[in-house]
Structure 1
């Protein structure tokens, strides 16, 4: 055997011995897989995990690398455990209160009456039961008068309710207002015909003149 071949074989042998020593040094626990010097499973050229002579399906199921290397051979419940049910969160609760506009305002007005303030005081008191997140105030009118007039009136009324609630301690940035004008009546189209005459028509349409106050938060 010439020197060149002899030296080559010795180099390969030394490299093999060095790799074996490296793997042995890295194998710090009784794994059923070969662990390299980086502390990870040694892979073949095709990406498969190298198994030790101690490998068994049962051993793979207990090995931390088992699911990565031999998932198809390991019971599904080991590699895909059921997620623990998440603890139920505290769901926001809501309370919607409808206050008749006639109790809050004079007809066609947006200035709160004393009786209206008393009604809102009741609403503010109820808000104390909540860790308040938001208050939504929506103003509504009846169909008497023009569409644009009623839209503006409903917005002014919602704003008046907000201003009073803020004066009673509700944070302004928690209160949102909206005016729906005459677009969402409670009464039916044939329930209050125009032929009733103005006074009776105003009385008949009373349910349409309202303010919806919705409080949303979590209970204390």
Structure 2
């Protein structure tokens, strides 16, 4: 078996260490022995962006916030499904992840950071939600979803307070999309308690195979 090649390491602020490795044309980011993301499994992330933006009904001059750059697949799907007049901000907490995209694996998703519609916010997506809005869509592809893995600070994104902050910073009819590795009935209930109209969707990691991931599309109705 071909061994993994070590490419880089980064520390999540207040969290664990990320390790980027490569084997042939496959890239993997792991933390503490757990694979956080792999370049071969990104179907559900693409659905998050595609279906989330479709729920906006083709509105013009959209302002879209993506929480988590990762390997760029969510951003690529947003670009492919957004109008040419859209403005997309991707918030990434770890600066090295931005550099890895530019230096190592950006080609996998068609170099999304080179698109003129894209700007990068290096920092906590919670700060971008409050400080850079309002947004027509907020797409959270952060950590492991509401059941955080690498950073306990992400819990505040999915708390009632965090969800109400997202709602406050959405335009009327705006969409909050959330990706998760697991189903979470408590989180579904919390979204509804915050006044969102909620759709819960289950999608295979590679669309046709792999474990099922959960997506929530929460619409601001008032």
- Shorter-chain TM-score tier: under 0.3
Structure number with the higher helix fraction is: 1
Structure number with the higher strand fraction is: 2
Q: Which has the higher contact order (CA 8 A, sep 6+)?
A: 1
With the length of structure 1 as denominator, give the TM-score of the two structures. Answer: 0.24
* Structure (1 or 2) with the larger CA radius of gyration: 1
